[in-house]
Amino acid sequence: MSAPATGLTSAPPRHAAFVRVTHWITTLCFFALLLSGLEILISHPRFYWGETGNSGTPVLFKIPIPASRATVPTGYNYGLPDQNGWSRYLHFQAGWAAVLTGLAYLIWGLWTGHFRSNLVPGRSDLNLRAYLAAMAGHLHFKFAGHDDDNSYNVLQRTAYLSVVFVLFPLVIWTGLALSPGWNSAFPATVNLLGGRQSARTLHFFVTVAVSGFRNRMRGMITGGGATSKEQP
């Protein structure tokens, strides 16, 4: 009678290669968007609501930092170096790269049933008790264990789907609304946001929330799951 095996075996990849590649491309794009967006913000750290807004109009709110343009009233007696040229170019290029990557991921997810199988909450999840239990775990800062690390609760699935189907499209919409060419071709899409300056303000506020970053990053990088012992 042979002795039971006690070695460790690697679990199947938690994320498909296509998912990991598109997520990391998107991560790099958003890092470039963040860096270039900060430079664009420094050129005019004031926000307005409506169609027009400039240094001579009332401000909705402002970021208390120096500007890179002397004509922008910030209350500081000095300005930061103006890097608005390359930042706008990088913001444009990274934005379109993120859009194309997101479209590829969306088409793949719908074609393969990834969203339906792995992300859409099941019927058993759509009840008050499931929501309250998941929310209680997050409110108590409960760290994910081995079982939770390989699954997603209903709040995480809802948050992820909200990012993919709500926040990401809103980022694209508000970003396109800032383009004069887009405004001329599709003015109704800009007017629905309240005007170009309203679109800029909304674009600033839209952020993406990442759930379980620390526990799930290894799987997203390598695709490896937690190791487990072989059973006899």
Tens of pLDDT, residue by residue over 21-37, are 998 898 899 889 888 98
Share of the chain above pLDDT 90, in %: 21
According to DSSP, the β-strands at 46-47 and 8-9 are unpaired
pLDDT tens digits for range 43-64 = 999 999 998 888 888 999 998 9
Structure tokens at 42: 């420094």
- CB environment 198-220: b (16+ within 10 A), e (fewer): bbbbbbeebeeeebbeeebeebe
Q: Which CATH number is 8-223 given?
A: 1.20.950
Q: How confident is the model at residue 115 (pLDDT cuts 50, 70, 90)?
A: confident
Distance of CA 173 to the CA centre of its chain: 14
Sequence letter at residue 78: Y
- Tell whether the model's pLDDT for residue 176 goes beyond 70: yes
Q: Where are the domains of the chain?
A: 8-223
**How far apart (Å, rounded) are the C-alpha atoms in residues 61 and 177?**
20
pTM: 0.69
- Tell whether the model's pLDDT for residue 128 goes beyond 50: yes
Q: How confident is the model at residue 4 (pLDDT cuts 50, 70, 90)?
A: low
The mean pLDDT value for 145-170 works out to 70
pLDDT averaged over the chain? Answer: 76
